[in-house]
Amino acid sequence: MPILSFSGPLRLLFDPPADGAWNMALDELLLDEAATTGQATLRFYAWSEPTLSLGYFQNAGDRAAHAASLNCPLVRRASGGGAIVHDAELTYSLALPERADAGVPAGNAALYDLLHETLIAALREWNVTASRLVKAAGALPQAPGSGAAEPFLCFMRRAAGDVLCDGAKVGGSAQRRRRGAVLQHGSVLLRASAAAPELAGLAELCGVEIDRGGLAEAWAGGLLKQGLGPMQHTPLSSEMLSAAMSLSQAKYRSAAWNERRL
């Protein structure tokens, strides 16, 4: 596995729960910052209420088929993949300048591997045995007569590199590239959500309650051991916070962005 390196310390953020528009706006700005200044950021965060995020290419009208999440706020991600119900989970994002992943194979599969292998190692601290799906296995079985090419929810799909526990997907990631930088963000299902009752989390699968903050700390520590660092707890500037607020209002709270049909 390639060891990633970059100039200057990696900014480490442990953010309090926030709404979907804020979370997606900040991830986008961290990607832009990585491209323009070379600043790398590892961010762990959560959601202030159960929220449905659509993949960039998903049709907003498709959410009507998932009754359990119809009352959830909607936000569209800048990354692809299936819809995610963000609730009882840990979410992360990693924004890196292009030069940070020099030597990583095309498609940045090694970046997925780095994040997912260190997640698996972190979960061992709670005696959880997880593994990475080495070969893509297609979508999980669908209900008869569904007629859909693939499931609406990301965690009902399978892709190489996904983190599995007892045969169920508990961790997945997606990427977005822009102007010489890459953003990878993803989720870990800690418990089942009433807004996605078909998905089991680690609590149901393994019988263990994992603290979100504790897992974030263990995961960051594992990444540091693998060479993703040095890390520094650096608060965001007032300018970055103001820009995130503006972007969240102008784009991620906009029906033109969230509800478009592709």
Beta bridge partners of 165: 168
Beta bridge partners of 93: 43, 185
Diameter over CA atoms, the chain? 54
| Cβ atoms 203, 192 nearer than 8 A | yes
Spatial CA neighbour of 188 closest among 45, 89, 115:
89
Spatial separation of the C-alpha atoms in residues 135 and 132, rounded to whole Å: 9
For residue 22, give the amino acid letter: W
Spatial CA neighbour of 189 closest among 118, 122, 90:
90
Spatial separation of the C-alpha atoms in residues 132 and 60, rounded to whole Å: 30
Is residue 165 part of the annotated active site? The answer reads no
Query: Counting every residue, how long is the chain?
Result: 262
The alpha carbon of residue 185 and the mean position of all alpha carbons in its chain are separated, in whole angstroms, by 3
| Cβ atoms 88, 216 nearer than 8 A | no
From the list 72, 154, 165, 206, the catalytic residue is 154
The structure tokens listed for 91 are 């979410």
Which phi and psi angles does 255 have, rounded to 5°? -65, -30
Per DSSP, 227 falls in state T
Beta bridge partners of 193: 196
Catalytically annotated residues = 154
